[in-house]
Copies of this chain bind each other. A is one copy, B any other.
């Protein structure tokens, strides 16, 4: 069991074969097609493996067999739980198929993204999942043509042909606004920014659509923020609290939970409208901080795990039938989660 290693080097298949009194090919069969080996031989080889503490060398296996069982996942920002959810989903799906997922954190650096893509390529992983810097997707994909199958998450590659899986932010915005309208709100405000971030502008478009559907019965104002952190929300909250009573919105869609949290906090501190009595507030992301905040926050949950699973399914399909595989663009739907902040 334990590797005593009387000799220096770790045991190889040859050692196992010798000890079990079989040929090297038989040991290989025990590892890969145990059902083709006679039970007593199987037993003998397995004991030998245990006794020697033999650990097969994956590099050699992969090299000889021309296959790999690891999937590489290059993640733009692991500190964002959305991406970590994707990783979880990917792993679940991979595991079902006997594969493993290894993560590389590119940490929002284009350069590291390239380094890791190259690393996985050289490692001849079975396939690569890539959640890229949005600005960078095509560069990464085209640079070198990698040779490995790649599925892109959270970004639609422009020119390059590849499967991709994205979240429908427009729909998320729509769902959020729709929910407020359905519960009787008529003066909506959207808070978020910068609009150059496509998730933000997509969510805004969804809100617009919901408002447009109301045929003029619902108004919409926009409050742009520099970013989507709590501090931005607080600032916007103070701004809103300072409005003339007649101009106060009665429903606020924030581009992110942190922003919503900031708004609620500002209202409370600076004597703004009460949540949810005077105004409903809904965020986006289903941030952990949102579900046990003081006033539990309604929100739109991103389909992170789902995206990871879907991407992995696509990747495996592509790997397995390179011939007939047609690239797909999946657009997954977020989920509305209603909590106290929008329940009057």
Interface residues of A (CB under 8 A from B): 1-3, 10, 53, 55-60, 62-63, 70, 78-79, 81, 84, 87-88, 91, 100-105, 107, 115-116, 118-119, 121-124, 144-145, 147, 229-231, 234, 258, 265, 268-269, 289, 292-294
* Bound form: Cα–Cα A78–B231 in Å: 25
Q: Are B3 and A145 in contact (CB under 8 A)?
A: yes
Q: Are A269 and B289 in contact (CB under 8 A)?
A: no
Q: Are A229 and B292 in contact (CB under 8 A)?
A: yes
Q: Are A122 and B55 in contact (CB under 8 A)?
A: yes
Query: Which chain B residue lies CB-closest to A10?
Result: B147
**In the complex, chain B residues whose CB is within 8 Å of the CB of A107:** 88
Q: Are A269 and B292 in contact (CB under 8 A)?
A: no
Q: Are A289 and B103 in contact (CB under 8 A)?
A: no
**In the complex, chain B residues whose CB is within 8 Å of the CB of A84:** 78-79, 105
Query: Which chain B residue lies CB-closest to A142?
Result: B2
Q: Are B123 and A59 in contact (CB under 8 A)?
A: yes
* Bound form: Cα–Cα A108–B294 in Å: 27
Known: A107-B88, A230-B289. A124 touches B1 (CB 8 A): no
Known: A145-B3, A268-B268. A123 touches B58 (CB 8 A): yes
Q: Are B292 and A230 in contact (CB under 8 A)?
A: yes
**In the complex, chain B residues whose CB is within 8 Å of the CB of A231:** 292
